[in-house]
Structure 1
């Protein structure tokens, strides 16, 4: 990232990992997702990374109808860049996962850059009881789940979305995922600037040690040079520590209740905006400036909000 570029804050407000039992503040209903999203933008987020949920029990819902319960209202209320997941949940089929991004044509869609073990099962031990029956099964089943993102799967998502001029948040959970992205870049199937989201702390991916962060950055620099913009996502308690380290190294950052339920040791975050505020303080404390949505569009060469399908 150029020293002159402001720092892009992405906020992921709900995701498909955490379940309603884990936090009373996790957005589940359309109204809750809208309120959390708008609060995050007001606090300084330029990009909103969005999943949908069943409003009755909070389980991940990747139907277009579920997204349309909140997307038009968010777009009407804010100029923020909207980024739709194509990851959904490790339990979903590829066609189900990509459908919202393919049909609704967002400015950005997430794209996981490789198959991996995606272990959520340790979370089961932290909660003696769950509000909904699906939660325990959802978490426990990841002992024997490979989150599939084959080369063929990635090509399918690229072809489904690039025709709509949607660009990608390339989610890289390990060093091999950077090499996978380099493979597609070498074939001319992805277009710079690459928005590389390095993900730290998911069981099955790279860890959260400071050397892991440095290794990810060093490898991306070697593979992509000036053709990429780096961002980081630290899962759980590592969220703000990794954001601080990486921001000092020139990274953009991602926070939100999808990635962590905490605002400090033993202190639950009451909103994604609370985490955006904390990371904004870190960024500005480093003498850096937070990007506006339009600055983020310019940095990432996005098509603009007028070209989306919602």
Structure 2
């Protein structure tokens, strides 16, 4: 059997719920801790290496709650074992401040966290606090994945790496079509991101991933995997298969992308390879 034509393996992260969708959007969207654990466990069995998780309050609203994050992480670890990578979110959703985000991460000390670059650096006078925070994260082996909402964020992140505020951006996530009309993504949205990333010396050791909205999510993520990137998939960003039909579950979306990747001759990462690609160091 021929070796896959890409030397590096791929990583799939499932994003089962996000901050905004609810049961009215899809009856299988997980909102409670038990539902999230079940959805992630099914997705892990289907081929997801990692889970990007949001917690909700009793009213179903997205919250940055350290205790809930810790309880969910413990439940996921108990159910799925040590191979699963658990990435918490720090998404502000227009309510939380950069200090709220930093406090959450310090309290939880997760193995991985996603941080929107433009949210954490929303204030021009926060460079000192953020430099200290990023250094703390590295010292405590908290792997940051920088979320980039548009290609202009690539150069902005590079400037913080070049001046030493961020020592090393090991992992980034490209959000495709975030500001397009109707929030619909197309594979061509990848081109400016990848081009800009390759143009900056600050990103020589950076691994990238992508997520996308709408029925074109599958095509966008197939393009990302074909270009040597990784993929984040799930109900946070899209509820639909490539044919426009709604998926029955997050695991069904993961399985569809795993099948597609196999057809492209791509190899799924081992647990240790997945952690390396996401910049996660053993504790």
TM-score by length of 1: 0.79
CA distance in 2, matches of 1:3, 1:154: 38
Alignment RMSD = 2.5
Alignment partner, residue 192 of structure 2: 215
1:90 aligns to 2:94 (yes or no): yes
CA distance in 2, matches of 1:113, 1:275: 27
CA distance in 1, matches of 2:142, 2:70: 18
SS, match of residue 45 in structure 1: coil
CA distance in 2, matches of 1:227, 1:81: 20
Aligned pairs, number: 272
Using the TM superposition, give the Cα deviation of residue 203 of structure 1 relative to its aligned residue in structure 2, in angstroms. Answer: 2.7
On the 8 A contact 2:91/2:116 being kept in 1, the answer is yes
On the 8 A contact 1:197/1:232 being kept in 2, the answer is yes
Alignment partner, residue 135 of structure 1: none
1:256 aligns to 2:234 (yes or no): yes
Using the TM superposition, give the Cα deviation of residue 157 of structure 1 relative to its aligned residue in structure 2, in angstroms. Answer: 5.0
SS, match of residue 22 in structure 1: coil
SS, match of residue 227 in structure 1: coil
SS, match of residue 24 in structure 2: helix
Using the TM superposition, give the Cα deviation of residue 91 of structure 1 relative to its aligned residue in structure 2, in angstroms. Answer: 2.4
On the 8 A contact 1:208/1:234 being kept in 2, the answer is yes
1:235 aligns to 2:213 (yes or no): yes
Which runs of 4 or more aligned residues in structure 1 lie more than 6 Å from their structure 2 counterparts after TM superposition?
Answer: 204-207
Q: Which moved more, 1:213-222 or 1:200-209?
A: 200-209
Which stretches in structure 2 are left out of the alignment for 5+ residues? none
The alpha-carbon distance between structure 1 residues 235 and 226, as it changes in their structure 2 partners (threshold 3 A), is same
1:281 aligns to 2:259 (yes or no): yes
CA distance in 1, matches of 2:23, 2:121: 25
Give a deviation string over 1:157-205, Cα, whole Å, max 9, x none: 5533541221211111112110111011112233446211100122369
TM-score by length of 2: 0.86
Q: Which moved more, 1:278-287 or 1:86-95?
A: 86-95
